[in-house]
Amino acid sequence: MTESDGHEPQAGSVSVPEGLVTAVVGLVHTGAVPLGAYTSAELTVVDAVVDFLEARPADEVLAEAVRSLAARQLLVPGSGADQIQVRGDLGIAVTFQRRARMVLDARITGARPGEPWRVLVLPQPERICLMVRIDALGVHELSLRTLEETLRIVADWLPQGPWAPSDAALDADAVLAAAERSALLTAVHYTTDGSAEIAGERTDLVLAAHRERLHAFVRDSADPARLVPKAGRNRSPRDTVAALLGQEPAGRREEPR
């Protein structure tokens, strides 16, 4: 599906078969499209979401990932001497990741067995999203879903409860320490230089479920290291996620702030 320099993946060029994006977008609108599960090393080898991974794997781990992908015919020699071709579902994932210009990075504490602790959402112009769900073992499960389905999945996974009354004096650290479940949502808009992402505008939101109430905090504009209660919490968790993505759900109107 895509080709890049075999020695320097991050600097490689990309080519996409004609009609691929249109065909896949049409398929997503009929149902979710699973793209498989991969390790961080396998994603690093093909330069997929590498700027959002925790750390670069060791060289020997990357070498094993190359062998694993090659054995599954997902990584094959390209048309040029220094080119590689990423095939199958992994190639589709790389294609849509490189089309995105923002990512929602959501992490939770208090994850239950079998559910991810981190989710990446990369929206596309066609109101679909590339979703990456990461579990405690570091397995990255990739899929393409409609915006509506993505919003539902992420909202259901976040801390739940009715909004707590706004209290400007509330101690964020104390609430987070006692919370049954909390989440950090970071929306990052970025541009690209080759295939490398360059982060730009960033928005952080912290949610915490405590005593059957949902609290929201943002960074203090005067002191970014400090969290302060968020005012105007009239949105549902679903619409809160949509707002962070900059894409309100179809057929919904933004509630007053």
Residue 81 is predicted with a pLDDT of 61
232: closest CA among 202, 205, 203, 250? 205
More confidently predicted of 61 and 47: 61
Which band of pLDDT confidence, cut at 50, 70 and 90, is reported for residue 235? confident
Gap between the Cα atoms of 131 and 123, Å rounded? 9
The model's pLDDT over 10-51, given as tens digits with 9 standing for 90+, comes to: 434 556 777 889 999 999 999 999 999 999 999 988 887 766
Say whether pLDDT at 80 is over 70.
no
Gap between the Cα atoms of 151 and 249, Å rounded? 8
The model's pLDDT over 134-174, given as tens digits with 9 standing for 90+, comes to: 999 889 999 999 999 999 999 999 999 999 887 777 899 99
More confidently predicted of 83 and 3: 83
Residue 8 is predicted with a pLDDT of 35
Residue 202 is predicted with a pLDDT of 84
Kindly state the helix (H) or strand (E) to which residue 228 belongs, with its residue range.
Answer: strand 227-229
The model's pLDDT over 223-233, given as tens digits with 9 standing for 90+, comes to: 988 999 987 66
More confidently predicted of 81 and 231: 231
Say whether pLDDT at 120 is over 70.
yes
Lowest-confidence range among 23-32, 95-104, 198-207?
A: 198-207
More confidently predicted of 2 and 216: 216
CA distances from 113 to 110, 120, 137, 166, 211 (A): 10, 19, 11, 32, 22
227 phi/psi in degrees, rounded to 5: -95, 140
The pTM is what?
0.84
Average pLDDT over residues 55-66: 90
CA distances from 67 to 37, 62, 78, 87 (A): 16, 9, 16, 14
